[in-house]
Structure 1
Amino acid sequence: MTKEQEVAENTPIRFTLTHYRKAGVTHEDFMKWIVEVHLPKAIPTFQKHGISDYALFDTPETSNNPLREVMAVARPTWQVADYDCIIEYTGPSAQTIQQIMIDPEWIEVCQDQEDWVDTSRALVSLGYHTQYLSKGKVMNLKQ
C-alpha cells in the first residue's frame, strides 16, 4: 500500500452536495424543510453508517446579492454561486457514502425530496478536509 493510499484509508472523507430548491418553493420554506423535516429523519441513517459530522451552509439571496455587487467590482471575473445550500457530510470512507445511497432507510428518508429539491442541478464532490486556521490559530502548516 502506498503512503497516499494509507492516508486516504485512514483520513475521514468529506462529501459535499449543493442543492437548489425546486421552482415555486421559497428559500425559507426549503431550508425549513431540510432542517425540520428531512434532517431529523436523516440523522439516524447517518449515525448508522458512521457519519461523524453534518453541516449545512445556507446561502440566501440576502447574503449573495450584496456579495454579487461587491464581487462585480473586486473580482469581476468571479461568479457568485446561486445554489440555496451546501450540505457537508464527514464519514470514515468513500464506501460509507456509497453504502448510505443504497440503504433502503436512506431511500425512504429521501422519498419526498423531489417535492423540494431540483435534483437535476445537484452538484456533489468527494475529498479530504484539512483545517489550516481555526479560531485564529494556524494549524497543519510547517512553521
Structure 2
Amino acid sequence: MADKPVKFAITHYRLPKHSHEDFIKWIVEVHIPKAIPVFRKYGVIDYTLFVTPPALSDFMNQRVQGSRPTWDVADYDCVIEYIFPSIDVIDKIMPDPEWLEACADQFDWVDVPKALVSLGYATTYFQKGEAVVLPK
C-alpha cells in the first residue's frame, strides 16, 4: 500500500468574512505559489483545484430538487485534490516547515473545522471522449 500513488482530497469552506472570489484568489495567488516548492520536494504528482462557485451550486440544487429530492448539493467553496506518489508522503509533508509556512494563514481564510478529507485510489475509465482502462 505504501508505494502506490494515492489521491488525497480535501473540501474547504471559506470563512464568511471573505467572498468566494477573494477566497479562490487567495488560494491561487498566495497559497499555491508557496506550496509548489513543497510539492516538488516530495514528488507530488498532481494538484488540482476544483472550484465550486455558489451560482453553480444553486443551479445544481434547482436541478436535483425535482429529479433527485434525496440528494444534497455540496456547498463548500472548493475541493483540493492531490496525487501523492505514496501514502508516506503525507507524513513527510505535514510537519515540513515549508508546508507549515505555506498554510500559515489558512485560519484567516479557511473554515478549518468544516474541512472534509478523503484518501484513496483513482482510476480513470473515460477520458477525452474515449474509454480507457476497461476490464476485459
Matched, 1:126 2:124: no
Segments of 5+ residues of structure 1 without an aligned counterpart are: 1-7
Q: Residues of 1 paired with 2:102 and 2:84: CA distance?
A: 18
The letter for the 2-side match of 1:81 is A
Shift, 1:142, TM fit:
2.2
Matched, 1:97 2:87: no
Matched, 1:88 2:85: no
Q: Which residue of 2 aligns with 1:3?
A: none
Q: Tell me whether 53-62 or 92-101 shows the greater mean CA deviation.
A: 92-101
- Cα deviation code 1:86-110 (max 9, x no counterpart): 0001111111012111111111111
Q: Percent identity?
A: 54
Name the SS of the counterpart of 1:102 in structure 2: coil
Match 1:34 to one of 24, 27, 38: 27
The letter for the 2-side match of 1:14 is K
Matched, 1:141 2:125: no
- Cα deviation code 1:52-109 (max 9, x no counterpart): 1100000001111011000001100000001000000111111101211111111111
Contact 2:46–2:82 (8 Å) recurs in 1: yes
The runs of 4+ residues in structure 1 deviating greater than 2 Å are 8-11
State the aligned residue count: 136
Name the SS of the counterpart of 1:25 in structure 2: coil
Q: Residues of 2 paired with 1:24 and 1:108: CA distance?
A: 23
The letter for the 1-side match of 2:89 is T
Name the SS of the counterpart of 2:133 in structure 1: coil
The letter for the 2-side match of 1:33 is W
Q: Residues of 2 paired with 1:108 and 1:24: CA distance?
A: 23
Q: Which residue of 2 aligns with 1:106?
A: 99
Shift, 1:34, TM fit:
0.1
